[in-house]
Chain A
């Protein structure tokens, strides 16, 4: 079955710097890759997603890149702010957005003012 690995497990940056979180997946049939942000005591919040027919997607300060050949995808956050501090999860599905999501173990991002 699918396995998703996520790195790093913790990331600390200064406010205004960029943050990059990387994920690799094992199943080449996976075709949908969402990213979620989870704050303490809350459910995961979808922040951006990408499908396998697209190499890059951007939404304001957040971007995701996908390399299907290498089976890895990355989240890029620019101009980080303290409110970006949270745990970020990547996920993959071989059944599109309707399928069961296989999640990475998460990255705890701390943005220091």
Chain B
């Protein structure tokens, strides 16, 4: 299967802990996106990369959130000092350059106790 993969699929943590998620995009996709989805809502955009450059960040991405894509391949999303409000599904998507549609991974479900 050559789709977008995310790891871990589930993460339970205590408030105040740091967590890191990984996304591996479809190979040759140069754009990589992070979205967050809470229960009963559609995904909300967080940030995206073109190759290793982070080109846009949403206002939803507080200072506690940081994303990287060091070699233009996989990406990590770190949340520091987690809060209960961070509980959500974190989705990654990737796309080909020029007119490519966005394809989503299975997501990482975060629960902050």
Q: Which residues of A contact B (CB under 8 A)?
A: 4, 6, 34, 36, 41-46, 49, 89, 91, 96-98, 100-106
* A46–B101 alpha-carbon span in the complex (Å): 8
Q: Which chain B residue has the least Cβ–Cβ distance from A48? A: B101
Whether the Cβ atoms of B102 and A43 lie closer than 8 Å is no
Whether the Cβ atoms of B43 and A98 lie closer than 8 Å is no
Chain B interface helix/strand/loop/mixed: loop
Report, as a range, how many residues of chain B touch the other chain. 20 to 34
Chain B residues with Cβ below 8 Å from A96 are: 99
Q: Which 9 A-B pairs have the closest CB atoms?
A: A103-B42, A43-B104, A100-B45, A44-B104, A43-B106, A43-B107, A89-B42, A97-B101, A43-B105
Query: Which residues of B, 92-113, contact A by the 8 Å Cβ criterion?
Result: 95, 97-107
Chain A residues with Cβ below 8 Å from B102 are: 34, 46, 97, 101
Chain B 46-87, CB-CB to A under 8 Å as 1, else 0, gives 001000000010100000000000000000000000000000
Q: Which chain B residue has the least Cβ–Cβ distance from A43? A: B104
Chain B residues with Cβ below 8 Å from A97 are: 95, 99-102
Supply 23 A–B pairs (Cβ within 8 Å), ascending by A.
A42-B107, A43-B6, A43-B91, A43-B104, A43-B105, A43-B106, A43-B107, A44-B43, A49-B101, A89-B42, A89-B43, A91-B42, A96-B99, A97-B95, A97-B101, A97-B102, A98-B31, A98-B98, A100-B45, A101-B45, A103-B44, A105-B42, A106-B42
